[in-house]
Amino acid sequence: MTGLGGPLFPIPTGSLLALGALLFCIGLFGALTRKNLIIVLVSIELMLNAANINLVTFSRLGVNPSLSGQVFSLFTITVAAAEIAVGLALLLAIFRLRRSSEVQDLNVHKW
């Protein structure tokens, strides 16, 4: 079995991928069900980090290990930071207008 972390504690690829899948599912569930916008943003970050865990795992333990996975995850982290910065800025803007950061208060658009 392919292992990471030395002879005493080899961590199998499957466990790491399972961790990623778990994070992704928690994030997806949170993003779709939570009411507070900040929690929704945090959940989306969890999903992005799940993808990062996958990328880093594969870059070390994948079918063809290569550095590009780690480089990719660096870019992902930066892009996620930019996305979250814009997200929080929009949240501040809506909070100033509505005094609320709950999803159900986003209701000015009607049919």
Partner 1 sequence: MFQYWNDYFFVVLFLLLGIFLPVAAIWVLGPLLRPKHPTVAKNTPYESGVEPVGDAHVRYNARYYLFALMFVVFDVETLFLYPWAASFHQLGLFALTEMLMFILMLVIGLAYAWRKKVLEWS
Partner 2 sequence: MPNTIDWLHQPYWMTMGPLLTLVVTAFLVMVLELIFRNGDRRWLTGISMLGTLVALGVALGHFNAQPSQALNTVVIDAFSSVFSVLILITVFLVLLFTLDYKGSNRLAAEHTYLLLFAAVGALAMATAVDLVTLYVGLELLSIASYVLVAVRRKSTHSVEGGIKYMLMGALGSAVLLYGISFIYGISGTTNLMSLSAVAVTMYTTYPAITVLGFVLMLFGMGFKLSLVPFHMWTPDAYAGAPSAISSFLATLSKSAAFAMLLRMLLFIFNGVADKVFFWAGILAAITMVVGNFIALPQRNMKRLLAFSSVAQAGYILVPFALIGASTVQDWPSLFDSISFYLFAYTFMTVGAFAVVHIVSEQKHTLDSDALIGLYHRSPWLAVALSIFMLSLAGMPLTAGFLGKFYIFSNTVQLHTPWLGIVLFATSVVSFYYYLGWLRKVFQHNPEEERVAVPISLPMNTLVALCVVLTLVLGLVPATLLHPLLNAHWVY
What does the binding site for partner 1 look like in residue numbers (CB under 8 A)?
Answer: 1, 8-10, 12, 71, 74, 77-78, 81-82, 84-85, 88-89, 92, 96
Q: Which residues of 85-103 are buried (b: 16+ CB within 10 A; e: fewer)?
A: eebeeebeeeeeeeeebee
Residues forming a β-bridge with 36: 102
For residues 31-90, which are near partner 2 according to CB under 8 A?
31, 37, 40-41, 44, 47-48, 50-52, 54-55, 57-58, 62-66, 68-69, 71-72, 75-76, 79, 82-83, 86-87, 90
72 makes contact, choosing from partner 1, partner 2, none, with CB < 5 to 8 Å by partner type, with: partner 2
Measured distance CA(14)–CA(83) in Å, rounded? 30
Per the CB < 8 A criterion, the answer to whether 61 and 19 are in contact is no
**Minimum CB distance to partner 1 smaller for 74 or for 106:** 74
SS3 (DSSP) at 36: strand
Per the CB < 8 A criterion, the answer to whether 86 and 46 are in contact is no
Residues that bind partner 2 (CB under 8 A): 20, 24, 27-28, 31, 37, 40-41, 44, 47-48, 50-52, 54-55, 57-58, 62-66, 68-69, 71-72, 75-76, 79, 82-83, 86-87, 90-91, 93-94, 97-98, 106, 108-109, 111
